[in-house]
């Protein structure tokens, strides 16, 4: 069905308020993508002085199982990007639900690691309270538009238990327990192997 017809039907929450005509601009693109929830990470690396450096990033994705690769998309203006490429190594710290302020600290102008417990794992700064982390060697860097896709070859990982921080529509959220759906239970039900 054409988007204009869908918009007339007002399907979804606010389709009728979205202008589908004309070429989407960066603001529309951001607004549309804000509907896709993501986890929140802090990308860390080491400056030539030896001090830790880091930034908040949600554009992080697993890429390959053999070899183990992940990717992170970083704005070309980011100081962390330059440091990370220079260092050749970085870590992805997956934040937990109570880490909204940590995410804000790593995107703002103030000191980022001040008062935040961190240790060195596999030679990289890792947040002590991270839900999970992966350390990487820079495998490739592909400039695309105003960002660079950094591909990391995973060299070490760690994880603890808890719930992740979620970024959605410009706000930090946590997962609602009532929304839990088991992937395995749904697949079993769909394949008819479960009588319930």
H-state helical runs in the chain:
3-9, 26-33, 79-87, 100-105, 183-191
- Using alpha carbons only, give the angle 142, 133, 40 rounded to the nearest 5 degrees: 70
CB closer to ligand FMN out of 7 and 42? 42
Which of the residues 65 through 124 are near ligand FMN (CB under 6 A)?
A: 73-75, 78-80, 103, 107
Which of the residues 5 through 64 are near ligand FMN (CB under 6 A)?
A: 40, 55-59
CB closer to ligand FMN out of 78 and 157? 78
Q: How far apart are CA 174 and CA 111, in angstroms?
A: 26
Residue 11 C-alpha from the chain's centroid: 28
Q: How far apart are CA 15 and CA 35, in angstroms?
A: 12
Which of the residues 157 through 176 are near ligand FMN (CB under 6 A)?
A: 167
Query: How many angstroms separate the Cα of 13 from the Cα of each of 16, 17, 168, 182?
Result: 8, 9, 15, 26
Q: Which two tokens stand for residue 99?
A: 């880490």
Q: Which two tokens stand for residue 150?
A: 């950094």
CB closer to ligand FMN out of 53 and 139? 53
Minimum Å gap between C-beta 101 and ligand FMN is 11
Minimum Å gap between C-beta 92 and ligand FMN is 11
Minimum Å gap between C-beta 60 and ligand FMN is 7
CB closer to ligand FMN out of 104 and 128? 104
CB closer to ligand FMN out of 7 and 89? 89
Applying CB under 6 A, the residues found at the interface with ligand FMN are 40, 55-59, 73-75, 78-80, 103, 107, 167
């Amino acid at each position: 069905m054409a988007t204009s017809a869908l918009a007339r039907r007002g399907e979804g929450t606010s389709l009728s308020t979205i202008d589908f005509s004309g070429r989407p601009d960066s603001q529309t693109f951001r607004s549309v993508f804000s509907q896709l929830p993501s986890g929140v990470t802090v990308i860390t690396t080491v400056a030539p002085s030896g001090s830790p450096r880091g930034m908040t990033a949600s554009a992080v994705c697993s890429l390959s199982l053999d070899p183990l690769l992940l990717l992170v998309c970083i704005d070309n203006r980011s100081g962390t990007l330059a440091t990370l490429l220079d260092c050749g190594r970085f870590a992805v710290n997956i934040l937990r639900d109570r880490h909204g302020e940590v995410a804000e600290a790593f995107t703002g102008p103030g000191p980022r690691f001040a008062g935040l417990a961190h240790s060195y794992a596999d030679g990289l700064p890792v947040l002590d309270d991270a839900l999970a982390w992966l350390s990487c060697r820079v495998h490739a860097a592909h400039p695309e538009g105003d960002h660079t896709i950094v591909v990391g070859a995973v060299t070490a990982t760690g994880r603890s238990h808890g719930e992740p921080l979620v970024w959605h529509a410009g706000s930090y959220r946590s997962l609602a327990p009532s929304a839990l759906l088991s992937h395995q239970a749904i697949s079993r039900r769909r394949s008819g192997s479960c009588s319930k």
